[in-house]
Amino acid sequence: MGRGKKPLLEKVEIQKIAAEGKSIAYIDEKVLFVPNTLPGDIVDVQVTRKRKNFMEGIVTHTHRFSALRIAPACTHFGICGGCKWQNLPYEKQLEFKQQEINDNLQRIGKIKLQNVYPIIGSARQLYYRNKLEFTFSNKRFLTREEISREADIERTPALGFHVPGLFDKVVDIDHCCLQGSSSNEIRNFIKTYALKKGLSFYDIRAQQGFLRTLIIRTASTGEIMVILAFGHEDTGAREQLLETLVRQFPQITSLMYVINEKLNDNLTDQDMFCFHGRDHIFEEMEGLKFKIGPKSFYQTNSEQAYNLYSKTRELAGLTGQETVYDLYTGTGTIANFIARQARKVIGIEYVPEAIEDAKVNSAINHIDNTIFYAGDMKDVLNASFISKHGQPDIIITDPPRAGMHPDVVQTILQASPERIVYVSCNSATQARDLQMMDSAYEVIAVQPVDMFPHTHHVENIVLLRKREFSQTDSCQP
């Protein structure tokens, strides 16, 4: 099939779940990817993209809904783009996630699976996130249903989430089921206040406006951090808003702001200012305290983070005598979590601010057997670094979604630890990296952990052990 006219396919039956939360149907032995569908749906599909071996499309009409479907909890389901599986029973979500991990490890990694443990589900499937990022827009997104009506519709400002694939469209969110009541109350108050005072919401296309983005972090300790990003400085309006926010919500532990005049919303390179309270909040885990700053990374599901780190420590098999390298350590959460069961832990991370937090986290928990370094992993982790700090007995690696750079993989192989614990939020790139290590290491345990209910995302822990080669094997060319 070429790239000509894109057809409308009628009464297509969806067969199974695919990667990234999409579903699959088969048309003339070609794969058709359709988002926002479930196995058993019978739908008409407008093809939006076609290639030689696959097509992509969107649903234009549903003839029959899958028997798997349940009523979603959120009124914004299907519009904001988050929680795409809220219409799917949670046990089925876990089943599909487990199968995706198995498929990726076998298909991409060519891994012979053994000791694959059942996925650890989240006790809370709603209100489980500790961080959400919202965007202000001077015009809210209109749904197809609204546009199809002939009546005039007011394009009021919005404070909510970007529509997937549309950088300039923001869905106005009234109530979000991902974060607790304080988050919803703070967000709605800011929006109501801004409308009452006539403060301008950001025009994403024109790159102008006062109110730009809002981040709310809520810790398991009950502490709250609010970060407001402004498109330009207006000292009077800014201070009046922030002072009103403090009076209305005295429970806010940290109120931060930033003046972001760039063309993008990324705040990692911006100066953050503390208007009220501390410039950080604290998380707690197994008696340990973790400092969370405005730029800090911390797993967004606090309860499942504990399960993830506990299983990582368990699979590492620490006895208290090991030198452990913790790669992509972030704010040193894993490093400090395992430090009391190891002889020495060395953490490496790209973001300098995160490394400073990692050092603070060791200090406030009276941990003195950790060392942290900031820099690009492929540049820091090299032969001289290993010579200086000693050969690792265990390497724990928790890279970003893109996985590890090939140079990092090669250095790990040269370091030759007895065991490697690979934590990943992307089992496809994890499988690719495992294949690169397959000649020297075998996978002996797999433990998925669901950090993100109602989404296709899933964390996976893999334990690798150095292969044992006989003398005969070592002589082979």
**409 or 469: which leads in pLDDT:** 409
| Residue 313 counted as domain residue | yes
In a domain, 72, yes or no: no
Whether residue 346 is found in the same domain as residue 201: no
CA 447 to chain centre: 18
* 380 and 233 within one domain: no
Residue 343 or 112, more confident: 343
* Residue ranges of the binding site for S-adenosyl-L-methionine: 299, 328, 349, 398
Same domain, residue pair 58 and 192: no
Report the C-alpha gap between 210 and 118 in whole angstroms.
48
- The larger pLDDT score, comparing residue 153 to residue 400, is at 400
**Do 27 and 109 fall within a single domain?**
no
350 and 367 inside one domain: yes
**Number of helical H runs and strand E runs in the chain:** 12, 22
Which CATH number characterizes residue 23's domain? 2.40.50.140
User: Within this chain, do residues 103 and 222 fall inside the same structural domain, yes or no?
Assistant: no
pLDDT value, residue 79: 85
Same domain, 321 and 419: yes
Read off the pLDDT of residues 305-354 as tens digits, 9 standing for 90 and up.
999 999 999 999 999 999 999 999 999 999 999 999 999 999 999 988 88
> Within this chain, do residues 115 and 166 fall inside the same structural domain, yes or no?
no
User: Within a domain: residue 366?
Assistant: yes
Residue 340 lies in a domain: yes
Q: Which pLDDT does position 1 carry in this prediction?
A: 43
- Position 472 scores a pLDDT of 33
Looking at the structure, tell me whether residues 240 and 375 fall in a common domain. no
Residue 193, domain CATH: 2.40.50.1070
pLDDT tens track for 382-433: 999 999 999 999 999 999 999 999 999 999 999 999 999 999 999 999 999 9
AA letter at 17: I
Q: Which domain holds residue 421?
A: 90-124+301-466
33 in a domain, yes or no?
A: yes
Clarify whether residues 306 and 184 are in a common domain.
Answer: no
Confidence of residue 20 (pLDDT cuts 50, 70, 90): confident
Distances in Å between the Cα of 147 and the Cα atoms of 81, 141, 167, 345 are 19, 10, 19, 57
**Quick check: helix, strand or coil at residue 200?**
coil
Does residue 176 have an active-site annotation? Answer: no
pLDDT of residue 114: 87
Q: What is the pLDDT of residue 266?
A: 92
Do 145 and 226 lie in a common domain?
yes
Q: Which residues are annotated as a binding site?
A: 299, 328, 349, 398
How far, CA to CA in Å, does 271 sit from each of 65, 259, 274?
50, 8, 10
**How many domains does the chain fold into?**
3
State whether 49 and 195 are in the same domain: no
Catalytic residue among 74, 83, 425, 475: 425
